[in-house]
Amino acid sequence: MDHKESFLQYLRFEKRYSPHTLRSYRNDLNQFGAYLSDRFPGIESPEISSHHIRGWIVSLMEKGMDPASVHRKISCLRVFFRWQQREGLVAGNPADGIALPKRKKNLPVFVAEEAMDDLLDKDFFSDDFTGLRNRTIIEMIYLTGIRRAELTGLNVGDIDFQDSSIRVTGKRNKQRIIPLTAPFVRRLREYLALRSEISSIQKETHLFLTEKGNKLYDKSVYNIVRDYLNMVTTSEKKSPHVLRHTFATHMLNRGADLNAIKEFLGHASLSATQVYTHNTFGKLRKIYRQAHPRA
């Protein structure tokens, strides 16, 4: 598709989009480009209209794509054509005003408190570097709610042992400070002591590493979390994002303020955080029916 690479470079260097988002946008643009090449060979960007985009939406829905994924792809096109419009490459944005399919309101999947207690209090982790690293990863996500990409981007220097906190760099390079519990700070010290024994470690600043001293990548973190959650839950979804949902849900269940959860999670707006209130409201309804004499 015309100007795709220049657009992605703009997102990377000027807007500071995460590598994960850049991969998603590249895939979305490639898929739209393939659709246009198949249905409208030789079409140029200034010729693309809302008619072409609506046709792509229909083709995606006919293939059974989830409405949430379709929304993301159209959002990508909106940003792409807005950039082209600003650069003077197209006259208007054909993705504006597109009617999108209705999204199902899927509640966030989370792990029960009892299951998390079992995982962290029982003997699931070995005492070597790998076991301690894996436990530290799972605790880090569960205790802070950070995203997987934020976790793999952590450096040793982001930890403030004196203040018992950690500096997290989120989307668009925005930073936030998250407090850490005293037991977890001790865990981090234990992990760093073992980490320092790995050869060639001196040159690597990333907090979480492989056994060979290299940076731990997103897929490895996903596999670690999935394998350990498999031991304590039968939920179909077992991922770092489920641990993030678990953090938010457990905090809200125990009375945390929604605005505070928003800050912990690094959400840009409160609307993104409010999805967790559906889970907590379900718990409140159950308590109400059990406790109120006229319920």
CATH number of domain containing 140: 1.10.443.10
Please write the tens of the pLDDT for every residue from 199-232. Answer: 556 678 999 999 988 899 999 999 999 999 999 9
- Flag whether 277 is in a domain: yes
Percent of the chain with pLDDT over 70: 91
The residue annotated as part of the active site, out of 244, 245, 250, 262, is: 244
Whether 171 is catalytic is yes
Whether 244 is catalytic is yes
Q: What is the pTM of this model?
A: 0.68
How many domains, the chain? 2
Q: Residue 20: what pLDDT?
A: 86
Whether 241 is catalytic is yes
Judge if 183 and 269 occupy the same domain.
Answer: yes
**Has residue 295 got a pLDDT over 60?**
no
The residue annotated as part of the active site, out of 133, 147, 148, 238, is: 147
Whether 3 is catalytic is no
Please write the tens of the pLDDT for every residue from 235-246. Answer: 888 999 999 999
The residue annotated as part of the active site, out of 3, 171, 176, 226, is: 171
Q: Quick check: 241 and 145 in contact, CB under 8 A?
A: no
Q: What is the distance between the alpha carbons of residues 115 and 124, in angstroms, rounded to a whole number?
A: 12
Whether 212 is catalytic is no
Q: Residue 103: what pLDDT?
A: 67
Q: What is the distance between the alpha carbons of residues 67 and 71, in angstroms, rounded to a whole number?
A: 6
- Flag whether 157 is in a domain: yes
- Flag whether 97 is in a domain: no
Whether 147 is catalytic is yes
Residue numbers of the domain that contains 130: 113-289
Dihedral sign, CA of 142, 229, 137, 132? positive
Judge if 147 and 282 occupy the same domain.
Answer: yes
